[in-house]
Structure 1
Amino acid sequence: FRAGLYTSPHLVSYLERIRIGKAPVTKKDFAAVLSLIREMIGDLISEKKLLSPPTHFEILTCMAFLYFSWKKVDIAVLEVGMGGRFDATNVVTPLVSVITTISSEHQKFLGKTLREISLEKAGIIKPGIPVVCGVKSRPSFKTIKERAEELEAPFYGVFAHPAYFKVYTNTDGYSFEFATPEAKYSFTPALLGEHQGKNAAIAIAASEQLNKAWKKLEKDKIIKGIETASWPGRLEKINQSPFVILDGAHNEEGAIALRHYIQKVAASPIILIFAVMRDKKIKDLADILFPLFDVVLLTRFPYYRAAEPEDIKKKAQKYIDKIIVEPDPNLAMRIAIEKATLRGTVVVAGSLFLVGEIKKYWKKNQSK
């Protein structure tokens, strides 16, 4: 199959956001699609069919749709940008809707409570379209299930029966078993961390819904996909000595998953390079992550929403003895490598934008 993929944000290049298979859109095609969209926007505004220009994300979403149409993809996976109900991707009628998790973020836009956030996420549910739900929190699960029932959308709770999902620990990490009404799956994800087994179970459940609504997907190929998948910036190992891990954890759920992984595998001294968006729950993230580390390097990335290192420091005063402020992420990385020594661990976390900056730095310096 020719499968399209639309995700955000990117790590290094905008081209990463729109892919077919593993291949990102080319610069030539990106420019061609953007030029056409730009022309159409101008025409629609002049004809007063559009009152104002679309947002940045709306333009990228239109570009992805157009590009996938040009390339005649068989199927496409669309990642919601934020929330669901009012997201630009929500104009489609999908084969299956997938809600992975619910956490307390983007509360300024999605609501202050988990129920309000859950309702926004449930906004992607369409009448009669199957819903795969990986949410474990009972109140959020209940909210999403009730919305599916209102729209007569078949509902599948991936973890509704805990006995169907089993975790096994081994010397190399984790392996998993997941039983559905259709089959039993045993797999060891290529992606690191216990939480990736849960993500894989959600993907399996979605695949089984596609079996009914689209085309038959062979079980062995589903497992092969899980065991060979790569996802840059999510517990991505880029060096062995010192052990260097990049992770875009930027909310409490992601930080907890990262903490669990670091507790199991990291060798001392353990150094954290941390930067974050200023609208995140900085104090809560600090309380989850900072106690694990011998040194915490606070930095920033070039984006208008990035928190200043000094502001992060003010919200993490209880860890002042281990904090070093270095606004330049490249210099922060050099300091971290030096302090970790060959036997230690360096973790880069807090934002995918920070991960992207470090990936660019690492590629540049490895090529020297």
Structure 2
Amino acid sequence: MFTKVGASAYKTDLHNTIALLDQLQQPHKSFKSIHIAGTNGKGSTSHMLAAIFQQAGYKTGLYTSPHLIDFRERIRVNGEMVSEEFVTSFTENLKPAIAEIAPSFFELTVAMAFSYFQQQQVDIAIIEVGLGGRLDSTNVITPELSVITNISYDHKQILGDTLPQIASEKAGIIKPNIPVVISETQSEVAEVFINKAKENNSPIVFADQEWMEAQSTINKAHLDVQILDTAEQQMRTLKLDLSGQYQEKNLMGVLSAVKQLQQQGWHISWQHVITALSHVKKLTGLRGRWDVVDLHPLTVLDVGHNEAGISEIMEQLRHVNYQQLHIVVGFVKDKEVDKVLPLFPTTAHYYFCKAQLPRALDEVALAEMGAANGLNGHAYPSVQAALHAAKQHAQKDDMILVCGSFFIVAEVM
């Protein structure tokens, strides 16, 4: 299982997924879909789009990964998790095929999601890529639209160690004649997407060229954004219940996706968009993105875990008022921790910890690496011990930030 052990669990072709879906009479061909790839932001983008479709009255499937607490978070219809009964009966019925095909955990989960969406007769399914794009198990669908959020360094041992190489893997979700939205124009990789789209005769849109952010205000629990539609020269005002400022980039991708979908005949009004974006968490169950869980002291959970994700969190911190910052942090071994640690503030108190999984980086080793970067604190053998210590030391006007890994945030939750 990739979640626990990392790259050794990753399968580098679609053979098993196709074989599983053949056993199930190809459920992925029975519903319409939107496919979302990218290094950071694909989870938030997926949930925002799902919320918009739900608000517009469509029966909406949502497939994401990883989960935080319950496996069933990965597979939802209209925000409701797949039933335990479906998970167990699906697995039981597929045991002979599992023995024969020997799929990975992720391959089996994709097949399960697609079967569930077929059974539920969804109008649309929002499908988040697990890792990469070209060889990801989800890349068997022919969607209505492809969305690629952004490209930064992550999973270099699998996807390549230059941004164009990584972009090329993500661009693998671009399908012949299917429009693609790129959320963020990045000069190093824009050509990769343009060329791939041209090769596939796919219309391509760069969202940050269709929209321009005029102003944004961060409140503790939401983000107020004024954004200009550059084609219509019309200012739009939105209130997002996802309060991380980094959501502005994802928002542009979502709004461009909505434009494309409206042109395809999907009945989505601007009012649906406004209402949905102010209730994404309630509609879809999204957690862990600048997730404010307490106000005194201000306690925030964020699953950001790579260089770009941590950079966005540090940028967000500049907009927050607090007396002292306490950071509970842990990583998995295959992240480039040496690139990430210099981004953290040296003025914070640190609580270095380790999630309970084999892939987790040793907390003492992390504390030593932290100290080498001027980050002072103590090592704790568990996330709970680290959080407990942070809560004991924090005053009511302080801030506690929990970040570094999905698994650290999951254990706090």
TM-score where L is the length of structure 2: 0.81
Q: Secondary structure at the match of 2:225?
A: strand
Report the Cα offset of residue 133 of structure 1: 0.2
Distance in 2 separating the partners of 1:283 and 1:112: 15
Report the Cα offset of residue 252 of structure 1: 1.3
Report the Cα offset of residue 319 of structure 1: 4.3
2:205 aligned partner, one-letter code: Y
Distance in 2 separating the partners of 1:39 and 1:219: 48
Give the corresponding residue for 2:250: 199
Structure 1 stretch displaced more, 120-129 or 180-189: 180-189
After TM superposition, the structure 1 = structure 2 runs for residues 1-368 of structure 1, keeping only pairs within 5 Å, are 1-42=58-99, 45=100, 52-160=101-209, 164-169=212-217, 173-179=223-229, 181=231, 185-230=236-281, 231-293=286-348, 295-319=349-373, 322-359=376-413
Report the Cα offset of residue 201 of structure 1: 1.6
Q: Does the CA contact (< 8 Å) of 2:60 and 2:77 recur in 1?
A: yes
Q: Does the CA contact (< 8 Å) of 2:244 and 2:290 recur in 1?
A: yes
Report the Cα offset of residue 235 of structure 1: 0.4
Report the Cα offset of residue 38 of structure 1: 2.7
Structure 1 stretch displaced more, 111-120 or 317-326: 317-326
Distance in 2 separating the partners of 1:191 and 1:327: 31
Report the Cα offset of residue 281 of structure 1: 1.3
1:99 aligned partner, one-letter code: I
Q: Per the alignment, do residues 71 and 321 of structure 1 end up closer, same or farther by CA in structure 2, a change over 3 Å counting?
A: closer
Distance in 2 separating the partners of 1:320 and 1:204: 41
Report the Cα offset of residue 159 of structure 1: 1.3
Report the Cα offset of residue 36 of structure 1: 2.7
Distance in 1 separating the partners of 2:361 and 2:321: 27
Deviation string for 1:201-224 (max 9, x for gaps)? 211111121222351211110121
Distance in 1 separating the partners of 2:224 and 2:108: 40
Distance in 1 separating the partners of 2:158 and 2:262: 35
Report the Cα offset of residue 16 of structure 1: 0.4
1:23 aligned partner, one-letter code: E
Distance in 1 separating the partners of 2:246 and 2:323: 23
Q: Does the CA contact (< 8 Å) of 1:15 and 1:26 recur in 2?
A: yes
Deviation string for 1:144-166 (max 9, x for gaps)? 111111111000001136x7332
Deviation string for 1:216-249 (max 9, x for gaps)? 2111101211122123011001111111000001
Q: Does the CA contact (< 8 Å) of 2:370 and 2:376 recur in 1?
A: no
Report the Cα offset of residue 307 of structure 1: 0.7
Unaligned stretches of 5+ residues in structure 1: 46-51, 360-368
Distance in 2 separating the partners of 1:109 and 1:214: 38
Q: Per the alignment, do residues 287 and 101 of structure 1 end up closer, same or farther by CA in structure 2, a change over 3 Å counting?
A: same
Q: Per the alignment, do residues 129 and 346 of structure 1 end up closer, same or farther by CA in structure 2, a change over 3 Å counting?
A: same
Q: Does the CA contact (< 8 Å) of 1:8 and 1:17 recur in 2?
A: yes
Deviation string for 1:167-191 (max 9, x for gaps)? 3336675423141546753212111
Q: Does the CA contact (< 8 Å) of 1:185 and 1:223 recur in 2?
A: no
Q: Does the CA contact (< 8 Å) of 1:37 and 1:63 recur in 2?
A: no
Q: Per the alignment, do residues 149 and 80 of structure 1 end up closer, same or farther by CA in structure 2, a change over 3 Å counting?
A: same
Structure 1 stretch displaced more, 224-233 or 173-182: 173-182
Q: Which has the higher contact order (CA 8 A, sep 6+)?
A: 2
Report the Cα offset of residue 296 of structure 1: 0.7
Deviation string for 1:2-26 (max 9, x for gaps)? 1000000101010100001111111
Q: Per the alignment, do residues 288 and 114 of structure 1 end up closer, same or farther by CA in structure 2, a change over 3 Å counting?
A: same
Q: Secondary structure at the match of 1:166?
A: strand
Give the corresponding residue for 2:3: none
Q: Per the alignment, do residues 63 and 214 of structure 1 end up closer, same or farther by CA in structure 2, a change over 3 Å counting?
A: farther
Deviation string for 1:247-267 (max 9, x for gaps)? 001011111111111121141
Structure 1 stretch displaced more, 114-123 or 178-187: 178-187
Distance in 1 separating the partners of 2:228 and 2:361: 40
1:4 aligned partner, one-letter code: G
1:132 aligned partner, one-letter code: V
Deviation string for 1:52-91 (max 9, x for gaps)? 4111100000000000001111100010000000000000
Q: Does the CA contact (< 8 Å) of 2:352 and 2:363 recur in 1?
A: yes
Q: Per the alignment, do residues 5 and 179 of structure 1 end up closer, same or farther by CA in structure 2, a change over 3 Å counting?
A: same
